[in-house]
Amino acid sequence: MATRPVPRPGILDIEAYVPGKSAAPAGVKLHKLSSNETPLGPSPKAVAAYGALAGKLELYPDGSSTKLRQAIAARYGLDSGRIICGTGSDELLQLVARAYLGDGDEGIFTEHGFLVYRIAILACGGRPVVAPETNLTADVDAILAAVTPRTKIVFLANPNNPTGTYLPFDEVKRLQAGLRPDILLVLDAAYAEYVRRNDYASGLELVATCENVVMTRTFSKIYGLANLRLGWLYGPAHVVDALERIRGPFNVNGAALEAGAAAIADEAHVAAAIEHNDRWLAWTTAELEKLGLRVTPSVGNFVLIHFPQTPGRTARDADAFLTRRGLILRAMGAYGLPGAMRLTIGSEEANRLVLATLTDFMAATP
């Protein structure tokens, strides 16, 4: 007999999620490029909507997120009744796992997929199953080969963080067609707004026509509301109904609801963020390659930089060198990529400073 309370099986197998670093040495200006935050910040309209809630903090928010769901529905032409909002898309991923995974059930995600998938699966007593990637890109055949009678969920980040790679929509449709109808396909489209490829789709169409597909989105990236923790899910009515039954009654705070509704309606601000990213993603990738560094082609607002194994030139060495100058990137050891670092596309000042610093790093005597 246990002598103290014991967590359910799987909980102690979880390695807690560790966010990117956010501090620089004393006296050095910080450029935080570790968390894929937008350098443009939030829409001024979202900031104003947030501030307007200051006089109403004693009131509970709308437990149904009605205004935000309607704003999202208007923006994308969706049925607001098939939208559920959450405290970031992280909460929604956790809700999906809680609703559809039991002890011993399997959830699949790809080799370098978002760390939260594993956490969500284990927290429900499920078994994480990792499908290998091909050239740091999700492989539909590998995912389908990993399916067993115990598979209940497939998580697919598209585009994927931290690799920046994506699956064309035809491949996503092929994945869905290859899954049993009782397996839920979760399309995590946190970076969808940044993608500029004609063969990409976020998943809205697939959700509209399939009973076993949901799509999650976030306000943390292009909308610049990471501090408010806000996300949304679009799914079949029966899935949304199940999630509503286990969702907290006031899971999204009122300021987030108001700011989110204002942000999604400000299409000019989003367009400016896309334009900035298009310019500096291409520039940063090209300049890094000129330094002799390999960069995985990205469709997001970040790039994965691969460093050599040469002593003095490794990712760990680069991390220390950059940090001393106030440039905080994300080390990739937790994602199984110890030789790489992820760089968020930042302001013009930050982007140029990163390249200048890496130029010094590559030129320094090991």
pLDDT score of 305: 98
**Residue 22 pLDDT > 70:** no
**Residue 23 pLDDT > 70:** no
What's the whole-model pTM score? 0.94
Give the DSSP H or E segment for 302.
strand 302-306
Where exactly are the structural domains of the chain?
A: 19-41+268-363, 44-265
In the predicted model, what is the mean pLDDT of residues 329-335?
94
Tokens at 206, concatenated: 């697939």
pLDDT score of 3: 83
pLDDT score of 11: 83
**Residue 25 pLDDT > 90:** no
The CATH code for residues 44-265 is 3.40.640.10
Q: What are the residues whose beta carbons fall under 8 Å from the beta carbon of 33, sequence distance 6 or more?
A: 327, 328, 329, 343, 344, 346, 350, 354
The least confident of 22-26, 108-112, 127-131 is: 22-26
In whole angstroms, give the CA distance from residue 143 to residue 287: 34
Residue range 141-173, pLDDT digits in tens:
999 999 999 999 999 999 999 999 999 999 999
Provide the 3-class DSSP secondary structure of residue 284: helix
**Residue 26 pLDDT > 80:** no
In whole angstroms, give the CA distance from residue 99 to residue 233: 14
Q: What percent of the chain has pLDDT over 90?
A: 91
- The answer to whether the CB of 158 falls within 8 A of the CB of 172 is yes
Local confidence band at 15 (pLDDT 50, 70, 90 cut-offs): confident
Looking at the DSSP bridge assignments, the partners of residue 327 are 31
pLDDT score of 69: 98
In the predicted model, what is the mean pLDDT of residues 230-235?
98
Provide the 3-class DSSP secondary structure of residue 131: strand
pLDDT score of 287: 98
> Taking the CA of residue 223 as centre, how many other CA atoms within 13 Å lie in the half-sphere pointing to its CB?
29
What one-letter code names the amino acid at 91?
A: E
The 10 Å Cβ neighbour count of residue 307 is 21
**Residue 12 pLDDT > 80:** yes
Q: What are the residues whose beta carbons fall under 8 Å from the beta carbon of 142, sequence distance 6 or more?
A: 110, 131, 132, 133, 134
In whole angstroms, give the CA distance from residue 140 to residue 122: 23
**Residue 203 pLDDT > 90:** yes
Please give the C-alpha separations between residue 261 and each of 5, 69, 271, 274, in angstroms, as whole numbers. 43, 8, 17, 19
Superfamily of domain 19-41+268-363: Aspartate Aminotransferase, domain 1 (3.90.1150.10)
In whole angstroms, give the CA distance from residue 120 to residue 67: 28
In whole angstroms, give the CA distance from residue 186 to residue 155: 5
Which residue, among 39, 36, 89, has the nearest Cα to 303 in the 3D structure? 36
